[in-house]
């Protein structure tokens, strides 16, 4: 009896093991079928794309070709007997509308705003019409195709990770449809400025996932160039666009100021939340002999720039307002004020930076009501000027200091002018006493950015009797942070070139090239 019992237990264990093995085998088989199905799907989508590319290329040689008249393209498709997706003869109209509804939920703006109306430009194909019209045998897909843009969208898609995915293949990049599916919650696109040339900035957009092997490829990045822009454009059409597969990052150049909204789309047709970034381009600072560009890190440590295109150096965007700073060999600090036009009314104060010595806004928009600030025209057409970051003091005989923490000196105009002349001879540089218009230019930049500069009643440069006190005294700065001009409003008047009393003073360097 005991022996029979043992035999039954052994048999039961064997049955369980066999059942487990069968279950694993069925799972592997099922997974294999799903992978095979997905690979077949990808292969068939690529075959369709090849045909679409060929038809689009042949359009260039069509007898009625005119790139400025989109109607000709529709006529071309009709000549090939391609029925519009919204045609009353389309028995799959309900399926088509279901796809559009699905896509609308993901990206309503694109389908509603895009100039190639989806209803007008898409054609619908089932397996029979793919064979008859495109010569594709044994392609069992239901697709809608926009021959104008080259996009192919499947009706059914395939199940991937338990989710139906409507996959789109973009012929412009020739990217492959991949097996893995990524979701918006897993990765987030990020933007950074990698080079800053003043009137242009090199941008990098990538995903923040540290494991680059687990991140989908970027298929396209779309953008709007202002909050009122209604036309969505492709970053791949911007200057110097480059996609680096090993980094899974896109690089391109922005050369027009504006508040940009970037929408990243990956190769799985997943679109991520928009990245909004303001670009405020301006004339780049020009370092004089003996100057070095500086910035401050997150811990307020002073750092020297690696090059004049260093992205850490400056950013004149309103939400950042990080002015370019420099330091001369004598230890004095300077701030760069780029050439700008402005609007000043009771209701509004606004600033637009301009290109080189022109009055043309870096936003490439008409600014007829704006005028060039007087500080850039009183001595000729200058691209910008360096202004002493701190009010000057007489540190020792024949030496003028513009450093933080030093006691501010009160000198007569004649004494100041003699010391300026000494500096000119010593450095062979065109140092000038600041004019009232230059001071007003700095103050106007603060007002236009809604920054209220506090009155400095402390008789030390930077508002503190130590060299690092200015770092925490940003209320005395024209930018509200460490990057601005200090001591603009003080208990003594500031001597300028058009003043003739005693007081504090500072210096400027005009740049004409």
- The pLDDT tens digits for 155-164 are 655 544 444 4
- pLDDT range class, residue 485, cuts 50, 70, 90: very high
For the residues 284-288, what does the mean pLDDT come to? 94
Helix (H, G, I), strand (E, B) or coil at 202: strand
**What whole-number distance in Å separates Cα of residue 12 and Cα of residue 14?**
5
Looking at per-residue pLDDT, the higher value among 430 and 82 belongs to 82
Kindly report which listed range (209-213, 303-307, 499-503) carries the lowest average pLDDT score. Answer: 209-213
pTM of structure: 0.66
pLDDT of 252: 97
CATH superfamily of the domain spanning 189-279 = SOR catalytic domain (2.60.40.730)
Q: Where are the domain boundaries for CATH 2.60.40.730 in the chain?
A: 189-279
Looking at per-residue pLDDT, the higher value among 14 and 237 belongs to 237
Give the end-to-end CA distance of the chain in Å, rounded to a whole number: 107
Tokens of 1: 């009896």
Which string of b and e fits 448-481 if b means at least 16 CB within 10 Å?
A: bbebebeebebbbbbbbeeeebbbebbebbbbbe
Phi and psi at residue 131, in whole multiples of 5°? -70, -45
pLDDT digits (tens, 9 = 90+) for 390-446: 988 877 666 778 899 988 888 887 877 777 777 666 655 667 888 899 999 999 999
pLDDT digits (tens, 9 = 90+) for 395-407: 766 677 889 998 8
Residue listed under structure tokens 């609007």: 343
- pLDDT range class, residue 381, cuts 50, 70, 90: confident
The answer to whether the CB of 401 falls within 8 A of the CB of 393 is: yes
pLDDT of 491: 61
pLDDT of 107: 46
**What whole-number distance in Å separates Cα of residue 193 and Cα of residue 315?**
10
Contacts of 38 (CB under 8 A, 6+ apart): 158, 160, 179
Looking at per-residue pLDDT, the higher value among 267 and 176 belongs to 267
Which string of b and e fits 61-89 if b means at least 16 CB within 10 Å?
A: eeeeeeeeeeebbbebbeeeebbbbbeee
For 437, counting Cβ atoms within 10 Å of its Cβ (0-12 exposed, 13-18 middle, 19+ buried), the class is: middle
The answer to whether the CB of 154 falls within 8 A of the CB of 187 is: no
pLDDT exceeding 70 applies to what percent of the chain? 73
**What whole-number distance in Å separates Cα of residue 118 and Cα of residue 85?**
9
Residue 480 has pLDDT above 80, yes or no: yes
pLDDT of 194: 96
pLDDT of 447: 94
The average confidence (pLDDT) of the chain is 79
pLDDT of 370: 95
Residue 104 has pLDDT above 60, yes or no: no
pLDDT exceeding 90 applies to what percent of the chain? 33
- pLDDT range class, residue 130, cuts 50, 70, 90: confident
Which CA distances in Å does 313 have to 166, 196, 316, 464?
A: 44, 8, 10, 25
Residue listed under structure tokens 């933080």: 404
């Amino acid at each position: 009896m005991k022996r029979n019992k043992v035999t039954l237990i052994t048999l039961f264990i064997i049955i369980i093991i066999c059942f487990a093995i069968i279950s694993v085998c069925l799972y592997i088989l099922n997974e294999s079928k799903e992978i095979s199905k997905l690979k077949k799907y990808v292969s068939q989508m690529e075959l369709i794309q090849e045909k679409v590319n060929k038809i689009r290329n042949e359009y260039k040689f069509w007898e009625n070709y005119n790139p400025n008249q989109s109607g000709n393209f529709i006529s071309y498709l009709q000549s090939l007997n391609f029925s519009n997706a919204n045609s009353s003869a389309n028995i799959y109209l309900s399926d088509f509308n279901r796809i559009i509804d699905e896509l609308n939920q993901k990206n309503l703006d694109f389908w509603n705003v895009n100039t190639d109306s989806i209803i007008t430009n898409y054609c619908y194909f089932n397996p029979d019409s793919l064979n008859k019209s495109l010569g594709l045998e044994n392609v069992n897909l239901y697709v809608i195709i926009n021959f104008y843009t080259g996009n192919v969208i499947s009706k059914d898609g395939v199940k991937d990770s338990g989710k139906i995915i409507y996959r789109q293949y973009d012929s412009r990049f020739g990217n492959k449809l991949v097996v893995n599916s990524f979701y918006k919650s897993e990765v987030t696109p990020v933007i950074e400025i990698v080079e800053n040339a003043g009137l242009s900035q090199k941008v990098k957009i990538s995903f923040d996932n540290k494991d680059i092997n687990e991140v989908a490829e970027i298929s396209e990045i779309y953008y709007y160039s202002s909050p009122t822009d209604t036309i969505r454009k492709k970053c791949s059409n911007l200057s110097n666009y480059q996609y680096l597969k090993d980094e899974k990052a896109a690089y391109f150049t922005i050369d027009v100021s504006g508040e940009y909204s970037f929408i990243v789309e990956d190769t799985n047709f997943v679109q991520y939340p928009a990245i909004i970034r303001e670009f405020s381009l301006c004339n780049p600072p020009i370092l004089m002999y003996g100057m070095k560009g500086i910035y401050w890190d997150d811990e307020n440590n002073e750092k020297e720039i690696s090059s004049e295109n260093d992205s850490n150096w400056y950013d004149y965007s309103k939400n950042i307002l990080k002015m370019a700073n420099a330091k001369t060999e004598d230890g004095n600090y300077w701030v760069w004020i780029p050439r700008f036009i402005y609007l000043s009314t009771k209701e509004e104060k606004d600033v637009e930076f301009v290109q080189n010595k022109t009055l043309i806004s870096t936003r490439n928009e008409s600014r007829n009501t704006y005028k060039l600030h007087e500080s850039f025209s009183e001595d000729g057409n200058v691209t910008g000027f360096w202004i002493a970051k701190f009010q000057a003091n007489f540190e020792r005989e024949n030496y003028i200091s513009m450093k933080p923490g030093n006691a501010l000196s009160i000198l007569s105009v004649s004494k100041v002018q003699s010391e300026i002349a000494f500096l000119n001879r010593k450095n062979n540089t065109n140092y000038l006493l600041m004019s009232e218009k230059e001071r007003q230019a700095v103050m106007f930049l603060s007002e236009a950015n809604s920054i209220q500069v506090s009155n400095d009643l402390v008789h030390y440069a930077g508002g503190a009797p130590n060299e690092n006190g200015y770092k925490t005294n940003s209320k005395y700065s024209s930018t509200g942070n460490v990057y601005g001009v200090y001591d603009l409003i003080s208990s003594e008047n500031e001597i300028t070139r058009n003043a003739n009393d005693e007081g504090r003073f500072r210096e400027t360097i005009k740049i004409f090239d």
